[in-house]
Amino acid sequence: MHFNKHEYTKLLTYILSNCYDKPHVGKTVIATALYFTDFNYYELYGEPLTKETYVKSKKGIQPIHFNKVTEELIERKKIYFRKEAYYHTTLHKYYLNKIPNIKYPQKKRNIINTSIMYLITKNATSLLKYVSKDPPFKNTDFNQEIDYNNVYFRDSRYSIRKKFINL
């Protein structure tokens, strides 16, 4: 599987454009939204949208290209980064310099929106609890790559197949 940097950058930008006004959304929430979008897309189509590699860590989901892609976007002045206090923690926040008009075909946009809209309303702590029971994450050892094929072991709480049965 070959990482699709263009699609990853587009998805990351789309996620940021949908959560810029949410004070609790930092790197953990964004990484989890990327993960669920790729794994949900894989569940429906047999391939991840961005072909990113995700690693299970004690801090949650670690997309391996996240830092490199965000650094490039910062250099190109597409986004900027700030550490911000949020209650008793510090969030790593990413902001768009300009909100782009990102176009996705309707089917793809529906999957992406379904994947991220619930997640970006949650804080990092509640998302870590949620993702910890998702079979791809749950069935992976710490510091190991998360296997996309484990989406087929999801129960109704995590599976999106029934929501998109008519695709």
Q: Which residues of 129-159 are buried (b: 16+ CB within 10 A; e: fewer)?
A: ebbeebbbbeebeeeeebebebbeebeeebb
pLDDT reported for residue 166: 53
Record the tokens describing residue 73, joined without a space: 């976007």
* Structural domain spans, the chain: 5-159
pLDDT in tens, the chain (167 residues): 799 999 999 999 999 999 988 999 999 999 999 999 999 999 999 999 999 999 999 999 999 999 999 999 999 999 999 999 999 999 999 999 999 999 999 999 999 999 999 999 999 999 999 999 999 999 999 999 999 999 999 999 999 987 776 54
Distance CA 48, CA 62 (A): 16
pLDDT reported for residue 1: 76
pTM over 0.85: yes
Q: Do residues 160 and 44 lie in contact, with contact meaning Cβ atoms separated by under 8 Å?
A: yes
Query: Can you list the alpha helix ranges (DSSP code H) found in 46-166?
Result: 66-75, 106-117, 124-131, 135-138
Residue with tokens 């993702």: 131
pLDDT reported for residue 27: 96
